[in-house]
Amino acid sequence: MSTGATPDGVGRWRLTADEVRGRAGRLRVLLTDVDGTLTDGGVYVSADGEALKRFSLRDGMGVERLRQVGVETVFVTRERSPIVTRRAEKLGVRAFEGVRDKAEALPEIRAALALAPDEGGLAYLGDDVNDAGIMALIAPRGLVGAPGDGFGEILEQAHYMTRAVAGHGAFREFAEALRIQVTAARGEGTKG
């Protein structure tokens, strides 16, 4: 079976089938950026300064679907936002907020998640240049994805570029692509 690396790469893995399967079999945690990944990158600001972000319930279901196959989702964002905290609570996921340099923070994040100190066991979904460093660290042994409308150089870096755009199912699509591989790698039947 071929995962079919194509020139545009949309909706396909840019790794061999064996590479994807092997990495998925060791996958424990999907780290995801929030703004421009789980949201469309916009923020609604009222005259009172109250900010609102829009999340997709379908993406939320993706968190649940990965959890069913033993993969936890964790938010990693440079922003500090009560909205993000609330969304993480609702989904029952951990959130690392106010992370200025995600690549630098990776060892600390791994330790907090009780992951061995190498770059395996992780996937990452990110959309912009501040995700490039951490994606480069995770890419050699993990699986990295980007929303279809992510920033250009991130799309080039990603192993998987979603057809869906950020805030409108990009996370769900990546989660489902991972779930298929994790399930196959572990030889379990798909449920639900």
Provide the minimum distance between the beta carbon of 41 and Mg ion in the complex, in angstroms, as a whole number. Answer: 7
HEC string of the chain equals CCCCCCCCCECCECCCHHHHHHHHHCCCEEEECCCCCCCCCCCEECCCCCEECCCCHHHHHHHHHHHHCCCEEEEECCCCCHHHHHHHHHHCCEEECCCCCHHHHHHHHHHHCCCCCCCCCEEEECCCHHHHHHHHHHCCCCEEEECCCCCHHHHHHCCEECCCCCCCCHHHHHHHHHHHHHHHHHCCCCCC
Provide the minimum distance between the beta carbon of 172 and Mg ion in the complex, in angstroms, as a whole number. Answer: 17
Q: Give the total of residues touching Mg ion (CB under 5 A).
A: 5
- The smaller minimum CB distance to Mg ion, of residues 33 and 119, is found at 33
Write the binding mask 4 to 43 for Mg ion: x where contact by CB under 5 A, - elsewhere: -----------------------------x-xx-------
- The smaller minimum CB distance to Mg ion, of residues 3 and 62, is found at 62
Per CB under 5 A, does 59 bind Mg ion? no
Binding site for Mg ion (CB under 5 A): 33, 35-36, 127-128
